Structure 1
Amino acid sequence: MLSRKLDPEDLRRIETGPIEREFHGQTSAKSSVPDSLSTVAVDFAGVTKSYGNKVVVDELSFSVASGECFGLLGPNGAGKSTIARMLLGMTCPDAGAITVLGVPVPARARLARRGIGVVPQFDNLDQEFTVRENLLVFGRYFGMSTRESEAVIPSLLEFARLERKADARVSELSGGMKRCLTMARALINDPQLIVMDEPTTGLDPHARHLIWERLRALLARGKTIILTTHFMEEAERLCDRLCVLERGRNIAEGRPQALIDEHIGCQVMEIYGGDPHELLSLVKPHSQRIEVSGETLYCYAPDPEQVRTQLQGRAGLRLLLRPANLEDVFLRLTGREIEE
């Protein structure tokens, strides 16, 4: 079944009609944020946001340098999406100050948004249009003419590795291809800052690695990325720095490996298959710290072989020795796993 093709009337309607998608909120012609910016792309200073009696973001402060990938790491309900909405000027903070690309938000959010590309958590592509048509339509939301959009579409298709799918309907694409198209669409206005909300949620491992490769390509171009995620491996692989969020608070900030070294600093022995509370007395003398989560006992030990020797011969136990990671940091700081 063929896609319904765009005709000139479609394009005129898109060009002159109101923009219904909340993010864009402007019908003015394309305009770039000034290039003469400081090295700080985004700054949150003491930002608080509540809904009713619930504090969602609690006196949050962080800065994002131009050209880096900055991660907002936390479980569902940690405030990541609210932070992204405030950054885009879609939600107003109750207190504090936000600066994006050198301008105050929400006061001048429309100007800031002209320099931002957004990759939402869920793809909101037009299923009946082709890959090329989706890019063409999205350019109109930034006041780009057909000629301007067509000039950049080939490079966007190349970035997304969708050159051979340019005339395919979105409904014919795999999940990974759709995600790549959503990323390419966010680049139509050549943004300085790209905000990505859980970009690999729901993707299989192969598609996830493809997205990671594309994100690294953007960083190599000098783009600034703010990445919200609850995938620890994703944060470790991609982020130059990150902020660990717990109930809207910044509980730790820094480079991934620096956070691991500061809060963990040793290898981790995971022990399954027995009552973890019964094993505490056996492993405690050989561990710097012990955490229990569900049926798993986490031993942070300078010499894991001493722990292994102590448990040798106990039936049913399974031991896994691995390097410390960000999940251990989160468990250490909050007392719970990030999936909760």
Structure 2
Amino acid sequence: MTTKQVQPAIAVTGLRKSYGDHVVLDGVDLTVQQGTIFSLLGANGAGKTTTVKILSTLIGADAGDARVAGHDLAGNPDAVRAAIGVTGQFSAVDNLLTGSENLRLMADLHHLPRGEGRRRAAELLEQFDLVEAAGKPVSTYSGGMRRRLDLAMTLVGSPSVIFLDEPTTGLDPRSRRSMWQIVRDLVAGGVTIFLTTQYLEEADELSDRIAVLDQGRLVAEGTSDELKRRIPGGHVRLRFADPRVLETAVHALGEVSRDNDALALRVPSDGSMRSLKTLIDRLDDRAIEVDELSVHTPDLDDVFLALTGNPTHEKVTTR
């Protein structure tokens, strides 16, 4: 019995885009599986927004092949548009309308029957905790409320793939975490999310896979843990209750950094289960008792800096 292979939500090969002599995307390849969150990281000007614009049919590519939601981007852009939703860096809501009116307008644009459109608007207002504000002009909404409404409008057409281009830019920490939970809930319901962000914590918190874009090229891709293990500096910290045990461990483990005051050793490690198991086995074989063990790996800041060579880190921030 053969297992039917599920096609990816997004599949891109050799994507290229230039403006005159300025190369924005230089042969980008990426695959996004259905029902996952894929994050594209990069400093301003790296090509993140251009990638989203191409994959959402807003601009054309100079070269390359792409399929989105099973449809060929160049050959059937209308089918791609019908299957996707896009939320940009700035809310595309009408300040003069109420939240409810914005959603009903979007339902009309999707040619939903009047009754169905009203039902859909009511469902989304409930889902995004906007019921109390539904009758108020959007001009009175906070930044977080506007972003939630913007995403709700994207969902009126029930897209299977959603492009979120820096969706939490400018939001306070509480609103950002509220948006994170909304994104998780969407993916739990089967939606695929393609996320671009400058907030490394956001990518680390949400993503199933992360790609790093630098000057138009993908320089790395993997899970957050896989990317962190590529960067030197990871280690396991061992703390002991007895100085004599510490001394025994030093002789048993070889190259380690020691902290005599804390009775601790720092053992180089890539953070993988294999290396951790090897270390524990060596300790067990010599009956060395460890009072406390903790694993320390580089964070995404370290990954980004190492991969892009951006010494100032001026455009990529964490919160």
TM-score, normalising length: structure 1: 0.72
Match of 1:45 in 2: 13
How far 1:103 sits from its partner (Å)? 1.1
CA spacing shift, 1:83–1:159, aligned 2, 3 Å: same
Match of 2:158 in 1: 190
What amino acid is the match of 1:43?
A: A
How far 1:330 sits from its partner (Å)? 1.0
How far 1:71 sits from its partner (Å)? 0.5
Match of 2:140 in 1: 172
TM-score, normalising length: structure 2: 0.77
1:109 to 2:77 alignment: yes
Match of 2:56 in 1: 88
How far 1:89 sits from its partner (Å)? 1.4
In structure 2, C-alpha distance between the alignment counterparts of 1:39 and 1:46, rounded to whole Å:
19
What amino acid is the match of 1:109?
A: P
Q: How does 1:48-63 map to 2 (within 5 A)?
A: 48-63=16-31
How far 1:119 sits from its partner (Å)? 0.9
Alignment equivalent of 1:334, drawn from 294, 308, 311: 308
Q: How does 1:224-239 map to 2 (within 5 A)?
A: 224-239=192-207
Residues 38 and 193 of structure 2 are in contact (CA less than 8 Å); yes or no, is this contact kept in structure 1?
A: yes
CA spacing shift, 1:235–1:303, aligned 2, 3 Å: farther
In structure 1, C-alpha distance between the alignment counterparts of 2:141 and 2:257, rounded to whole Å:
49
- Consecutive unaligned residues of structure 1, counting only runs of 5 or more, are 1-35, 269-300, 309-321
* Secondary structure in 2 matching 1:263: coil
Match of 1:134 in 2: 102
* Secondary structure in 1 matching 2:38: strand
Match of 2:119 in 1: 151
Residues 266 and 302 of structure 1 are in contact (CA less than 8 Å); yes or no, is this contact kept in structure 2?
A: no
* Secondary structure in 2 matching 1:331: helix
- Consecutive unaligned residues of structure 2, counting only runs of 5 or more, are 237-254, 263-295
Alignment equivalent of 2:167, drawn from 186, 193, 199: 199
What is the root-mean-square deviation in Å for CA atoms of aligned residues?
A: 2.4
Q: How does 1:273-292 map to 2 (within 5 A)?
A: none
* Secondary structure in 2 matching 1:91: coil
In structure 2, C-alpha distance between the alignment counterparts of 1:304 and 1:138, rounded to whole Å:
63
How far 1:267 sits from its partner (Å)? 5.6
In structure 1, C-alpha distance between the alignment counterparts of 2:313 and 2:54, rounded to whole Å:
23
In structure 2, C-alpha distance between the alignment counterparts of 1:190 and 1:223, rounded to whole Å:
9
What amino acid is the match of 2:223?
A: R
Residues 7 and 70 of structure 2 are in contact (CA less than 8 Å); yes or no, is this contact kept in structure 1?
A: no
**Most deviating of 197-206 and 105-114:** 105-114
Segments of 4+ in structure 1 off by > 4 A?
Answer: 301-306
What amino acid is the match of 1:111?
A: A
Residues 131 and 165 of structure 1 are in contact (CA less than 8 Å); yes or no, is this contact kept in structure 2?
A: yes
How far 1:243 sits from its partner (Å)? 0.8
Residues 38 and 102 of structure 1 are in contact (CA less than 8 Å); yes or no, is this contact kept in structure 2?
A: no
CA spacing shift, 1:244–1:305, aligned 2, 3 Å: farther
In structure 1, C-alpha distance between the alignment counterparts of 2:12 and 2:257, rounded to whole Å:
41
Please give the per-residue CA displacement for 1:43-73, whole angstroms capped at 9, x wherever unaligned: 1101111000011001000000000000111
CA spacing shift, 1:230–1:305, aligned 2, 3 Å: farther
Please give the per-residue CA displacement for 1:212-269, whole angstroms capped at 9, x wherever unaligned: 111111111111000001110000001100110001101000001111012245169x
